[in-house]
Amino acid sequence: MVISCASVLAILGFLAYFALPIFAGGHLGEIFSWEWRPFQGQCGILPMAVGSFLLAVTAMGLAYPLGLGICGFAHGLGPRWLRRPLLGLIHFLTSIPTVIYGFVSVIFLVPLVRGIFPESTGYSWLTAALTLSLMVLPTIVLLIQAQLQQVDGRVRLASAALGFSPAQTFLWVLGPQASRGLWAAAVLGFSRALGDTIIALMVAGNAPQVPHSLLDSIRTLTAHIALVVATDSTSQAYQSIFASGLILFMVTTAINLTLRRLQSGTRPAASHD
């Protein structure tokens, strides 16, 4: 067991070690710039950072309300008998490979978007956001669901005894009580959306630019890493992907540490007789 601990710690250290040389190299200014022209020595990754952020935010913007709706449905807004099959289905959705969402999107959604907006190629921010939102939806639902479940046990009987209907319990007791957890679910979902590679790579178009509309093509940090590795580029381009990796790593780490701090404040102390 000591070995397993040591190895996990070692891995984390190793990851950090590989990313650090970028900052020692003195190319910081070049990497954190807005232009990506590797053959002219301009390897800015800021457009990709913006792309990652925008895509994750829009995907969450679409998925979160849906997820909240589904959880509300399962917790009193919908009929009780539908609850188990619905949650079972959502659970099942987590097992669908990401690449399949991407595949179906390429075959089905991309031509559809192109058909509706003829000026677009179909490979766009919009397409990626739609696909990604469906992909993160089950994760979000399960996160919210876990939070609600915790509160549910505590308040169900009390509010039923007060004569609340299940729907009222959800809206006026459960939801507000779990609000902190709901935030946590949103942030974790965001972090999941940020980490996705395949969908962005397959349907977002991958043009290294800051998009002006939902129909523009965008490139995320994750897709950027995959693209540069695939198309053997200059050494500076390689540096840019390590910087991208480090940014992703730091953002997800920061999110996690923040959430950890939030949660440790709410944990009840152990009691002893």
Partner 1 sequence: MEAKRPVDLEPSVRVEHLHVSFGGREVLHDLSAQFAPGEITVILGRSGSGKSTFLRALNRLNECFPGSATRGSVRLKLQGQWRDIYREALPLTELRRRVGMVMQTPHLLPVSIAANLALPLKLVLGLPRREIPARVAGALKEAHLWEEVADRLDAPAHTLSGGQQQRLCLARVLALEPEILLVDEPTASLDFRASLKVEELLLSLKERYTIIAVSHSLSQARRLADAALIFRDGSVAERLSREDLQAPDTLQALLEEIF
Partner 2 sequence: MIKRLTSLAQACSWLAVVTTLGLVLLLLGFLGLRGFDALNPALFFGKTPAWAAITARLPVWHGIWPACVGTVTLVLLASLLAIPLGLASGIYLASYAPGPWKRWFALAVELLAAIPSIVMGLFGFALILFLKKTLAPQANTCLLLSAGCLALLVLPYLILMTQTTLEALPSELRLTGLSLGFTPWQNLVHILLPAGGRGILSGVILAVGRAAEDTAVILLTGVVANAGLPSGILGKYEALPFHIFYLAAEARSDAELAQGFGAALVLLLLTAALFLGAYYLQNTLAKAWKQKDLLI
Nearer of residues 91 and 213 to partner 2, judged by Cβ? 91
Nearer of residues 24 and 269 to partner 1, judged by Cβ? 269
Asked if residue 121 lies in contact with residue 142, where contact means CB atoms within 8 angstroms, the answer is no
**Single-letter amino acid, residue 67:** G
Number of residues that bind partner 1 (CB under 8 A): 4
| Residue length of the chain | 273
Query: For the window 253-272, what string marks contact with partner 1 as x by the rule CB under 8 A?
Result: ----------------xx-x
**Helix locations, the chain, DSSP H:** 2-19, 21-25, 28-31, 46-72, 83-93, 98-104, 110-116, 125-161, 166-168, 175-177, 179-195, 198-203, 221-230, 235-266
Nearer of residues 1 and 270 to partner 1, judged by Cβ? 270
Which residue shows structure tokens 């895509």? 55
Nearer of residues 26 and 268 to partner 1, judged by Cβ? 268
- How far is Cα 196 from Cα 52, in angstroms, rounded to an integer? 9
231: partner contacted, choices partner 2, partner 1, none (Cβ within 5-8 A by kind): none
The CA-atom distances, in angstroms, between 120 and each of 8, 177, 185 are: 45, 44, 33
Where in 115-144 is the site for partner 2 (CB under 8 A)? 134, 137
Where in 155-194 is the site for partner 2 (CB under 8 A)? 165, 167-168, 170-171, 191, 194
Supply the minimum distance, in Å, between the C-beta of residue 143 and partner 2. Answer: 13
Contact stretch for partner 2 (CB under 8 A) within 22-30, 88-96, 145-153, 179-187: 88-96
Footprint of partner 1 (CB under 8 A): 269-270, 272-273
